[in-house]
Amino acid sequence: MALFKKKQSISDELVLPEHIGIIMDGNGRWAKKRHLPRSAGHNAGGKTFRKISRYCSDIGIKYLTVYAFSTENWRRPQEEIDALMKLFKDYLEEAVKDFKDDSIVVRFIGDKTPFSDELKALMKENEEGSADRDGMVLNIAMNYGSRDELVRAVKNISAGVKNGEIDIDLIDENTISDNLYTAGQPDPDLIIRPSGEYRISNFMLWQSAYTEFVIMNKLWPDFTESDLDEAIRIFNQRNRRFGGV
């Protein structure tokens, strides 16, 4: 982790988390409070996502993982799912055009299988178009669930053992980490959950073994750069011992 001096609301030097995870929660409640359809909350949340992603890149965060759509979200009403898929399509089309001059490397983590061919093609276009950039890595978790990720890792490792590519006696924590969607990336230092809910919601279970969690009582569409600053300030107040004294 490196030191940085914030250009905006924080003037003191703070320890910058290398990897931040955000559970983008509260879109539906934000819309309900305003007597709007849930789709309006998702649209507002999408704007916040773009704003916070660029801000993280600007201040020097190296990795950002955002929880956009979980494996359990398919249980929502079809009307809401359809609205989310349209929002994802609009964002991906916009990202191809508007983010071409950004330094952000875009990656999608999760099982892409259930998505339409159009969405999968747009994901591929964004990943390939940003692959040579040298800035922050942005992981967008879509149809992601950590238990599903771990099952996938176990299957991959089991296949490697069966094919003689992996020695079962040499399987260790690194073997599992190397078979996750985030292989090659550091575990998150900080996970932020807006909306005030005290749940991990199947997000990065393996990777977050020693992550600092910050729960913020603010719905995601209302989340600002100052709120991110505050989460980093709280992170700086933690004593990270990683099981030691």
Q: Which residue out of 25, 187, 189, 227 is catalytically annotated?
A: 25
User: Distance of CA 46 to CAs 40, 66, 212, 233, Å?
Assistant: 10, 11, 25, 25
Q: What is the DSSP string of 139-158?
A: EEEEEE-HHHHHHHHHHHHH
Question: Rounded to an integer, what distance in angstroms lies between the CA atom of residue 42 and that of residue 24?
Answer: 10
73 is catalytic: yes
CB atoms < 10 A from the CB of 180, how many? 20
43 is catalytic: no
- Please state the separation of Cα 204 from the chain's center in Å: 9
Best CA proximity match to 54, nearest among 243, 228, 176, 240 = 228
Q: Which residue out of 43, 58, 73, 117 is catalytically annotated?
A: 73
Question: Rounded to an integer, what distance in angstroms lies between the CA atom of residue 200 and that of residue 20?
Answer: 14
- Asked if 180 and 109 count as a contact pair (C-beta separation under 8 A), the reply is no
CA angle 102/107/111 to nearest 5° reads 155
Residues catalogued as catalytic: 25, 73
